Structure 1
């Protein structure tokens, strides 16, 4: 997959899990892409029925591709939807909670939090104040934004590489967002 920069040339996509050096500009391009997703995915409302529809959309996508994922939608302290598909492990539950806490704390997707740390020349995890036993700045948790209100809930997926977790959540959010606009 590639990302488009401000010109017409394609950049190879930034891989947050890669240990080798990444193409110049790809980190900034991915940050811009996620900021665009936030702007795009502003919902008119988000009810418990909407949480169920989103959760079931993720289950359908996960089962269709035999993905070993845990799915969680939480509003404050209330769990609105939670399931572990075949192949998900107890470790996924810890990752769900840590990524979800990160998205709640920063009111931004957990992947974006981690990428912004890298854009500053390091990793957010290298800061003493970032407690990795509580938070995870890895992709997969995305706040659900209600237009003119802000973040009201968080949807989280764990079990895939972090960019794939993030992309799966965004795909499902887009589908629910489209359905709301049409319905």
Structure 2
């Protein structure tokens, strides 16, 4: 189980100096490579603002995965934090996002898999999202790819 402190630390560490269309392509390609190596049925989405810069859907996914991505991305944009961290904060309060957020659950999902793309000294500029696995696994895949990308 990942703690709230660990999730906050991930967001603090995993920031970009800049984020270009080429960066989105390279990060997305890295995620695709990881998914293919592990034969993971995932949909991958990367955006800067409202512009979709990268999208991929492996075999075994469906349009529902796109809908989950949209709902997770809305959570990141609204709260400025990963969709998993938002859900974790509600769970720590002894409740759930679904019970206490008062948001339309057809539009928002605080399930792991969407992560903020933050440019240092700028702030939130986009999102990287994965759907298709259990929520913690979606989150971990995104974090692993971001760590590899930012180390390289």
Q: TM-score, normalised by structure 2?
A: 0.97
Q: Secondary structure at the match of 2:144?
A: helix
Q: 1:102 aligned to 2:103?
A: no
Q: For 1:52 and 1:45, locate their aligned partners in 2 and report how far apart those are by CA, in whole Å.
A: 14
How far the C-alpha of 1:110 sits from its partner, in A, is: 0.1
Larger radius of gyration: 1
Q: Which position in structure 2 is the counterpart of 1:161?
A: 134
How far the C-alpha of 1:176 sits from its partner, in A, is: 1.1
Q: For 1:37 and 1:127, locate their aligned partners in 2 and report how far apart those are by CA, in whole Å.
A: 25
Structure 1, unaligned stretches of length 5 or more?
1-12, 15-29
After the TM superposition, list the runs of 4 or more consecutive aligned residues in structure 1 that deviate by more than 2 angstroms.
none
Q: Secondary structure at the match of 1:83?
A: strand
Q: 1:31 aligned to 2:42?
A: no
How far the C-alpha of 1:128 sits from its partner, in A, is: 6.2
Q: Which position in structure 2 is the counterpart of 1:171?
A: 144
Q: For 1:146 and 1:55, locate their aligned partners in 2 and report how far apart those are by CA, in whole Å.
A: 17
Q: Which position in structure 2 is the counterpart of 1:19?
A: none
**CA RMSD for the aligned pairs?**
1.0
How far the C-alpha of 1:86 sits from its partner, in A, is: 1.0
Q: Which position in structure 2 is the counterpart of 1:67?
A: 40
How far the C-alpha of 1:127 sits from its partner, in A, is: 2.4
The one-character-per-residue Cα deviations of 1:56-79 (angstroms, maximum 9, x if unpaired) are 000000111111000000122210
Q: For 1:50 and 1:160, locate their aligned partners in 2 and report how far apart those are by CA, in whole Å.
A: 24
Q: CA 1:60–1:120 in structure 2 vs 1: closer, same or farther (change >3 Å)?
A: same
The one-character-per-residue Cα deviations of 1:71-92 (angstroms, maximum 9, x if unpaired) are 0001222100001011112111
Q: Tell me the number of residue pairs that the alignment of Structure 1 and Structure 2 aligns.
A: 152
Q: Which position in structure 2 is the counterpart of 1:113?
A: 86
Q: CA 1:175–1:128 in structure 2 vs 1: closer, same or farther (change >3 Å)?
A: closer
Q: TM-score, normalised by structure 1?
A: 0.81
Structure 2, unaligned stretches of length 5 or more?
none
Q: Secondary structure at the match of 2:40?
A: coil
